Amino acid sequence: MLSRSLALVRKDLRLYRADLAPILIMVVLPLGFITFMVPVNRALLEVRGYPGATGAEQALPDMMVMFALFLLGIVGDQFYRE
């Protein structure tokens, strides 16, 4: 059973080496968006009456949900590539 799983992992790694876009989308873009969204959310929360807010309270969950939905598309694409 483990050898089958390892074979699938090796095949997926070969596919990811051929196309790095999914990895870039799931790693680099969230980090870039968070750097811009944290100050915006901090200002928004301070205006709404939360003076000690850092902005990460909203930026991180927002990015997690958005990129989890992007992951669904990437997983669907992997089925078609297979």
pLDDT above 80 for 78: no
Res. 77 pLDDT band, cuts 50 70 90: confident
pLDDT over threshold 70, residue 70 = yes
Query: Hey, how many other C-beta atoms are within 10 angstroms of the C-beta on 77?
Result: 14
Overall average pLDDT of the 42-56 stretch = 93
pLDDT per residue as tens digits for the range 10-44: 888 888 888 888 788 888 888 899 999 999 999 99
CA distance linking residue 28 with residue 30, whole number of Å: 6
> Side-chain half-sphere of 46: how many Cα atoms within 13 Å?
11
pLDDT at 50: 93
- pLDDT at residue 79, as a whole number: 76
Q: How many CB atoms lie within 10 A of CB 43?
A: 12
Domain ranges of the chain: 20-81
pLDDT of residue 13: 83
